[in-house]
Amino acid sequence: MLTYDLEQRGSLARYDYLYRCIREDILSGQLRPGERLPSKRSLAAHLNTAVVTVENAYAQLEAEGYLYAREKQGYYVAAVEVRTLEGEPPGQQPEQVQPQWLLDLGGLGSGTEGFPFSLWARLTRRVLTQRGEQLLRATPPNGVMELRQAISRHLSHVRGISAAPE
C-alpha cells in the first residue's frame, strides 16, 4: 500500500501533494509500468483523507499520462521514461526510441503518410448524411450544445469538476 505523510505537504493542497508523491514514485521507478494502484477508497482510508483527494490526484496523473484506468478494474501505472540514477555514467543510459506517429507534423514528411483517409471519408459521409442540413445553420455564439456537453463530461471525468454545459 502506498504510504505518504500528507501532513508534510506544507502549503500544497492534499491532492496536489499526493499527486506529486505518486508521480515521483513513478519517475523514480518505485512504481513500475502495469502495476495496479490501490482503489481510491482504500487509499483514502489508508491515508486518512477524503476520497475526492485521491480522485483528484489520480485524475491529474491520468491526464498527464502517468496512469491509465481500466473500467471497473482500477488504475495502473503507465509506461513512462524513468529517471536514471545520478551516479550512472552518461554512456550507460538507454537509447531513446523515436516514437512512430500516425501523422508527421514535424516538417520532415508531407504530413499525410499513414493518415486514415478511408476512415476520414467514411465518417465524413456519415456526418453529412445524418446532419447535412444542420451543418448549414449558423453556430450559436456560445458554441454547439453537443460540444459543450462533451466538454462538461470530460471535465467531470478527468478533473472531477462539475460544470454545466450552459
Cα–Cα distance for residue pair 22/70, rounded to 1 Å: 18
Burial class (CB in 10 A: 0-12, 13-18, 19+), 46: middle
Residues 27-68 have pLDDT tens digits of: 988 899 999 999 999 999 999 999 999 999 999 999 988 999
Grouping H, G, I as helix, E, B as strand and the rest as coil, residue 75 is strand
Q: What is the pLDDT of residue 91?
A: 47
Instruction: Tell me the pTM.
Output: 0.51
**What is the residue-level pLDDT of the chain in tens, covering all 166 positions?**
788 888 888 888 999 999 999 999 999 888 999 999 999 999 999 999 999 999 999 999 999 889 999 888 999 999 887 765 555 554 455 566 666 655 556 665 555 666 788 898 999 999 899 888 888 888 888 888 888 999 999 888 888 888 899 8
Are the C-beta atoms of residues 48 and 4 closer than 8 Å to each other?
no
H-type helices in the chain, by residue range?
14-28, 40-47, 51-63, 117-131, 145-154
Domains identified in the chain and CATH numbers: 6-77 (1.10.10.10), 117-166 (no CATH)
**Cβ density class 85-98: b for 16+ within 10 Å, e for less:** eeeeeeeeeeeeee
Find out whether 61 and 158 touch, Cβ atoms under 8 Å.
no
pLDDT of residue 18: 93
